[in-house]
């Protein structure tokens, strides 16, 4: 019997990779979801015989209705009609919509699936307690998709958390690892978006350069593995061959290695061919003999200071971090501020009284997170002093 699945964010990198791995004989795609790329999602629906798609951007949705000539493909603009074509729980859902926009769809789909693989960072950072309650309510299995978190999850999923002393998330160091930081003021957008080991979009490439992406991953790991921040560290590993290190209380430490391709965590998350990955290669001993681990230099990556002010409890401060970073990085990508000012501005804003107060507010509903994100992005242009 075919496994029934859905892909949220099917036109993005994660969604497209998953589709490339799908065997049409063994999987039936019940739903594809996209935002603006209506042409690509329609092509995907035709190629994979998908009868239902959701296009969340209204203008793109309207265009898709005009373009669609296949009467068997039903196009929707929101998630209100899921019960029409999902009567029984799906076997698997991939949630890979980027940004705060992925919160509601992730929350909605949990009740409709046996397994949900989440690549949406905002769900795991800003809304984990809410998401976790939904997972337990509907007895839905959760699998993290980030290479680091999937690596950790695959190793410790059956372990008691008291056995874990520390976990290390590895970071490539980004495109500026070997850059002379005396000349940061001369760094341009085009210098930042060339990631040395991963194929990334512009925004996440900037987050990798500043090390904010790794701060986000520390926040995710704290939540999904139920750890304290003092149990999580970052280590620079330029080749990104080792994705995580786990140190146990019994003195044994384990390293999880795989090539720098998201096909491995994605294919394992959906259990393709009973955990047999077709592209498997032998262990790269050349890389193993030249691991080049480094400590994170605070003077190079000052955003790491953010980890010192994070409370162990989940709060709206997590949302504030995501929203402020989104805004400031966008300012850099639009050439309104220099690269050097990204970390400086983010830390200054988040240390202010106006933002520290969010540490005391625990979100109970997804709407609180979404509304705060809008409020912050509306407010920031009036607060910022670029001098």
pLDDT of 273: 57
Q: Same domain, yes or no, for 283 and 359?
A: no
| Among 299, 333, 356, residue at a domain's last position | 299
Range of the domain at 104: 3-145
Q: Same domain, yes or no, for 243 and 341?
A: no
Domains in the chain, number: 3
Q: What is the pLDDT of residues 128-178, one digit of tens each?
A: 999 999 999 999 999 999 999 999 999 998 888 899 999 999 998 888 888
On whether residue 308 sits in a domain, the answer given is no
Give the mean pLDDT of 193-211: 78
| Domain CATH for 45 | 3.40.50.720
| Domain CATH for 319 | 1.10.1740
pLDDT of 117: 97
On whether residue 307 sits in a domain, the answer given is no
> If DSSP states are collapsed to H, E and C, what string results for the chain?
CCEEEEEECCCCHHHHHHHHHCCCCCEEEEEEEECCCHHHHHHHHHHCCCCEEEECCHHHHHHHHHHCCCCCCEEECCCCCHHHHCCCCECEEEECCCCHHHHHHHHHHHHHECEEEECCHHHHHHCHHHHHHHHHHCCCEEEECCHHHHHHHHHHCCCCHHHEEEEEEEECCCCCCCCCHHHHHHCCHHHHCCCCCCCCCHHHHHHHHHCHHHHHHHHHHHHHCCCCHHHEEEEECCCCCEEEEEEECCCCEEEEECCCCCHHHHHHHCCHHHCCCCCCCCCCHHHHCCCCCECCCCCCCHHHHHHHHCCCCCCHHHHHHHHHHHHHHHHHHCCCCCCHHHHHHHHHHHCCHHHHHHHHCCCCCHHHHHHHHHHHHHHHHHHCCCC
Q: Same domain, yes or no, for 155 and 255?
A: yes
Q: Same domain, yes or no, for 289 and 329?
A: no
On whether residue 134 sits in a domain, the answer given is yes
Q: Same domain, yes or no, for 129 and 162?
A: no
Q: Same domain, yes or no, for 334 and 286?
A: no
Nearest to 212 by CA among 234, 227, 231: 234
| Among 238, 264, 299, residue at a domain's last position | 299
Pairwise CA distance, residues 60 & 129, whole Å: 33
For residue 141, list its beta bridge partners: 115
pLDDT of 284: 82
Q: Same domain, yes or no, for 201 and 90?
A: no
On whether residue 305 sits in a domain, the answer given is no
On whether residue 60 sits in a domain, the answer given is yes
pLDDT of 319: 97
Nearest to 106 by CA among 115, 114, 116: 116
On whether residue 107 sits in a domain, the answer given is yes
Q: Same domain, yes or no, for 52 and 127?
A: yes
- pTM here is 0.92
Average pLDDT, the chain: 91
On whether residue 67 sits in a domain, the answer given is yes
Whether the pLDDT of residue 200 is over 80: the answer is: no
Q: Same domain, yes or no, for 151 and 118?
A: no
- DSSP-based three-state secondary structure for 144: strand
Q: Same domain, yes or no, for 18 and 41?
A: yes
Of 103-107, 217-221, 377-381, least confident by mean pLDDT is 377-381
The separation between CA 124 and the C-alpha centre of its own chain, rounded to angstroms, equals 8
């Amino acid at each position: 019997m075919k496994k029934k699945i859905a892909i949220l964010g099917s036109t993005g990198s994660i969604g497209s990779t998953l589709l490339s791995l799908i065997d049409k004989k063994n999987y039936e795609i019940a739903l594809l979801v996209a935002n603006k790329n209506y042409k690509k999602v329609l092509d995907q629906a035709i190629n994979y015989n998908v009868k239902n798609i959701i296009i969340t951007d209204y203008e793109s949705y309207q265009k898709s209705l005009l373009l669609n000539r296949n009467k068997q493909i039903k196009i929707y603009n929101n998630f209100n009609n899921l019960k029409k074509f999902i009567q029984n729980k799906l076997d698997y859902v991939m949630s890979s919509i980027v940004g705060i926009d992925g919160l509601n769809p992730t929350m909605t789909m949990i009740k409709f699936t046996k397994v949900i693989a989440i690549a949406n960072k905002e769900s795991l950072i800003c809304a984990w307690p809410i998401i976790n309650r939904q997972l337990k309510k509907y007895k839905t299995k959760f699998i993290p998709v980030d290479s680091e978190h999937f690596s950790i999850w695959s190793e410790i999923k059956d372990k008691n958390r008291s056995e874990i002393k520390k976990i290390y998330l590895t970071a490539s160091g980004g495109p500026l690892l070997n850059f002379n930081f005396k000349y940061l003021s001369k760094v341009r957008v085009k210098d930042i978006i060339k990631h040395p080991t991963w194929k990334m979009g512009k925004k996440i490439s900037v987050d990798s350069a500043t090390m904010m992406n790794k701060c986000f991953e520390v926040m995710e790991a704290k939540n999904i593995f139920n750890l304290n921040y003092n149990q999580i560290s970052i280590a620079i590993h330029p080749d990104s061959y080792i994705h995580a290190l786990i140190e146990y209380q019994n003195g044994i430490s384990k390293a999880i290695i795989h090539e720098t391709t998201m096909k491995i965590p994605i294919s394992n998350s959906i259990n393709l061919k009973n955990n047999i990955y077709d592209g498997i290669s032998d262990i790269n001993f050349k890389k193993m003999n030249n691991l080049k681990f480094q400590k994170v230099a605070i003077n190079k990556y000052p955003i790491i200071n953010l980890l010192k002010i994070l409370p162990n409890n989940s709060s709206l401060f997590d949302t504030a971090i995501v929203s402020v970073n989104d805004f400031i990085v966008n300012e850099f990508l639009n050439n309104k501020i220099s690269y050097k000012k990204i970390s400086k501005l983010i830390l200054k804003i988040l240390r202010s009284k106006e933002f520290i107060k969010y540490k005391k507010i625990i979100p109970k509903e997804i709407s609180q997170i979404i509304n705060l994100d809008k409020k912050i992005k509306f407010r920031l242009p009036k607060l910022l002093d670029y001098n």
